[in-house]
Homo-oligomer: A and B are copies of this chain.
Amino acid sequence: MHLEFRHLRTIKAIHEEGGLARAADRLFITQSALSHQIKSLEDQAGVELFVRRSKPLKLSAAGKKLLRLAERILPEVEALELDFEGVQSGRSGRLHIAIECHACFEWLFPVLEEFRKAWPDVDVDIRPGLAFDALPALQKEEVDLVVSSDPEDLRDIEFSPLFDYEPVFVASSQHPLAQKPFVVAEDFREETLITYPVERTRLDVFTELLTPAKIEPRSIRQAELTAVILLLVASQRGVAVLPDWVVREVKYSSDYVTRPITKKGLTKRLYAAIRSDEAQLPYMSHFLRLARTEPVKLQRM
């Protein structure tokens, strides 16, 4: 029947203006055009849309149905057009974040809370599922920002530094290693290591310490939540290596100590990877600014 939005707007205009000529004015076309238009629509639909017997053209029963359709559909279309204007102006958009580091939840949530206040129209989400090949997902626009500590040189992807952190050794204050001023790889040989349930390549303790030194802990135990890891450490079920800010922020138990890893400690840098073409988006730069400053505040607490 070849209905078009034009027809819906026409039906609506004729009904509201009460006549072809006035509707034509409103739609900025001629009365003739409207006459042709509704005629061809009636021909194709095989249904009379207007009552011809009366002169200021009036809707028939079928015409009223079309009018109701128009009144339901047109506002939706206009809403979408407004939305797209928002995207175009950078006011709205999508910010789906993939995090490679499991502990990053800790500082990301407060940042996002702050962000959402400023950018209510931006669709924010965290996607923990695809933690492995997050960068390909970023290229394919499945996500819009990846938090990573390993910058790579990829086309159309920019890495911008967020903040530095120190992976620190955590143990119960009763633990023998708590006596040492710092720990080394060798110290883990007889320990139970508690980690997040992710691959070793994504755990600092392995990538920065144990794997290079070719040392294997006595056993490994996994826990999902930071609070649980600290609980296990405090009750002497093992030791852990966590970013400094995590240990400082979470005060669930004070029955543990932190020690640097190696004499001068480790330093790692966190990066945000985004697509180059979105680097200029106002909400994107605002997010990066927040993600650079908010976690630092936490570290100072």
Q: Are B66 and A80 interface neighbours, CB within 8 A?
A: yes
Shortest beta-carbon distance, A2 to chain B, in Å? Answer: 9
Cβ 8 A contact of A5, one of B3, B54, B83, B141:
B3
Chain A contacts with B in 45-65, Cβ cutoff 8 A: 45-47, 51, 53-54, 58, 60-62, 65
- Name the residue in A62, A94, A140 with the highest tally of chain B Cβ atoms < 10 Å from its Cβ: A62
The answer for the CA separation of A31 and B62 in the assembled complex, in Å, is 36
Number of copies: 2
Q: Which residue of B lies closest to A50 (CB)?
A: B141
Tell me the interface secondary structure of chain A in the complex: helix
Shortest beta-carbon distance, A284 to chain B, in Å? Answer: 14
**A and B contact pairs by CB, cutoff 8 A, 26 listed:** A1-B81, A1-B84, A3-B5, A3-B77, A3-B81, A45-B81, A45-B88, A46-B85, A46-B88, A51-B140, A51-B141, A53-B141, A58-B140, A60-B141, A61-B94, A61-B141, A62-B84, A62-B87, A65-B80, A65-B83, A66-B80, A69-B80, A72-B76, A73-B73, A73-B76, A73-B77
Which residues of A pack against B, CB within 8 Å?
A: 1, 3-5, 45-47, 51, 53-54, 58, 60-62, 65-66, 69, 72-73, 76-77, 80-81, 83-85, 87-88, 93-94, 123, 139-141, 156
